Structure 1
Amino acid sequence: MTEKHRDWHEKLPYALMAYRTSIRTSTGATPYSLMYGMEAVLPAEVEIPSLRILMETKLEEANWIKQRHEQLSLIDEKRLNAICHGQCYQKRMARAYNKKVHLRTFDEGDKVLKRILPVQDEAKGKFAPNWQGLFIVQKEAFLILDRLYSCMHDGVFGMMKLIGT
């Protein structure tokens, strides 16, 4: 099946509908329900009525307005629940991330390589070196996630580059 990329503007409303009506893990709700206080009516539900649509069509206008007003009054509660769900999700993600972080200590005289951070003036592509030099640790240091932190003394980083590397 060959797809043409010229008709993306015709598929955009469907993609946005899918995005707005799918439940987010971080909030536990759909963006549509957090915005409007109710679930979206899918185009398929208009043609083939679901139980929810049938119940709404049988309501009188006054009852429908009253029910909608109640839904809108509960929207703040839904949003607060989404915020609480988001905070729990962030804690869960932080806990999973912190499980993989290992503290590594280096003693004086240890030989180490220093990671070259990706932000450089001279980006040489994928064949650029990822590590720099061979250093000897002069002061006690510790490593968290590829970054070497050292006991700073008079602006000296606490590592000495080996000659010839």
Structure 2
Amino acid sequence: MESARVGWLDELPTILWAYRTTPQTATQETPFALTYVAKAVIPAEIGVPSDRVHNFITRDNEDELRLNLDLLEGRREEAAIRMAKYRGQIARHYNARVRPLSFKPGDLVLRKNSVSRLQGTDKLDPNWEGPYVVKEADRGGYCKLAHLSGEEVPRTWHNSNLRIFR
């Protein structure tokens, strides 16, 4: 589409057809097949004699389409199961590199400036503020913070918004 800046509207149906007839990674099915039950005949197959086009029988095709409609719900459920499995694989791959943080009372931490918004959030402003002392920490990942002087910070903070001060 980048090369066809002027005639992109003419290219859109071709691009959408390619998307609809390409099996997706997560479901292993084409969006066309999950919507219309049948496999699409691509334009290249119409011009070139293939077994699908050559052996087409209208009466048998109607019976097959009815059968496919009966089996559609099961096919969609199988695609949903494959998608959930794929999402789990992606999550495991991502989470393999995540190191969980746990803070103990007395740890020094920095807090994200974008969360507290005590200082401006312009491009050149610092991303972290602090240091703060952890007063209390629970298993859920929430911490009560205090300034170095001992004065408690009014709100509770989650581990994802904190970083160990070194």
TM-score normalised per structure 1: 0.74
Amino acid at match of 1:160: A
Partner of 1:124: 122
Amino acid at match of 1:24: Q
Task: Determine whether 1:17 maps to 2:17.
Answer: yes
Task: Determine whether 1:53 maps to 2:61.
Answer: no
State the 1:141 CA deviation: 5.5
Distance 1:119 1:46, change over 3 A: farther
* Stretch deviating more after TM superposition (29-38 or 105-114): 105-114
Q: Unpaired segments of 5 or more residues in structure 2?
A: 150-166
Partner of 2:154: none
Amino acid at match of 1:14: T
Aligned length: 147
Percent same amino acid among aligned pairs? 30
Q: Unpaired segments of 5 or more residues in structure 1?
A: 151-157
Pairwise CA RMSD of aligned residues? 2.7
**Aligned runs of 1:44-123 on 2, under 5 Å?**
44-56=44-56, 59=57, 61-117=58-114, 123=121
Structure 2 distance, partners of 1:33, 1:109, is 59
Partner of 2:39: 39
Amino acid at match of 1:13: P
1:119-165: per-residue Cα shift (whole Å, max 9, x none)? Answer: 9695424x3432122112222467x9xxx621xxxxxxx212346xx
Amino acid at match of 2:60: N
Distance 1:47 1:118, change over 3 A: farther
TM-score normalised per structure 2: 0.73
Amino acid at match of 2:21: T
Structure 1 distance, partners of 2:86, 2:74, is 18
Partner of 1:6: 6
**Aligned runs of 1:137-152 on 2, under 5 Å?**
137-140=134-137, 149-150=142-143
1:62-116: per-residue Cα shift (whole Å, max 9, x none)? Answer: 2222222222222222111111112222222333333233222223322211123
Structure 1 distance, partners of 2:114, 2:39, is 46
